[in-house]
Structure 1
């Protein structure tokens, strides 16, 4: 993700999957504790839906939208972790495994030392 973007500016943007299908709207952005960089976004998947966490790397901003390079079905099947609170190391590991992402370099550090992400704002 572009590092010069204010994470609060992502909130309210429409999110689309790799095929251009609308997923929903960004509700929250979670920052890496060590770097302060945006790491995860919680996307509201529908009027009565839940928030699905999506990785902000390798997602991209295209115009006013967030483009997430995964299929909508995979995004909607992401672990339901709730929003508005700090992600635990276990929760973040579940997300990394769900999206088959390589673990960040700081994943081996003790909790509270840069891993996991915290909500922005």
Structure 2
């Protein structure tokens, strides 16, 4: 996986899918609140007049010269939960992000959020 400081430096760089097709640009990184490790990223996708931030897991992601390569397909990412470019992920929507990628979702022991934007 990445060091949290390193992956944040990639903001604005290209994000490509498992086949190398461009998805968009890295907007932000969300860490797992239990481990403080990078866990999801948001990717700016869409037309210039209709941009949105799509969530994509960082599990299995690698960095290349000038890009971040994620382990998912373009189709899976395009269908993933998203927020407006100036929006925030509501705590109640976190389970849907995990479910889309068939990942287990477990909130904190006291019900706290699982993801935090860094």
Structure 1 ranges of 4+ moved more than 6 A: none
Question: What whole-Å deviation, never above 9, does each CA across 1:33-58 have from its counterpart, x for those lacking one?
Answer: 23222111110013333111101112
Aligned-pair RMSD on alpha carbons? 2.2
State how many pairs are aligned. Answer: 115
Cα offset, 1:79, TM superposition: 1.2
User: Among 82, 85, 89, which residue is 2:88 paired with?
Assistant: 85
Q: Which structure carries more strand by proportion?
A: 2
Structure 2: segments with no counterpart, 5+ residues: none
Give TM-score, length-normalised by structure 1. Answer: 0.78
Residues 34, 49 of structure 1: alpha-carbon distance in 2 compared, 3 angstrom cutoff: same
User: Among 47, 55, 58, which residue is 1:56 paired with?
Assistant: 58
Question: What whole-Å deviation, never above 9, does each CA across 1:5-57 have from its counterpart, x for those lacking one?
Answer: 43421211100011111000011111222322211111001333311110111
- Quote the residue 2:98 is aligned against: 96
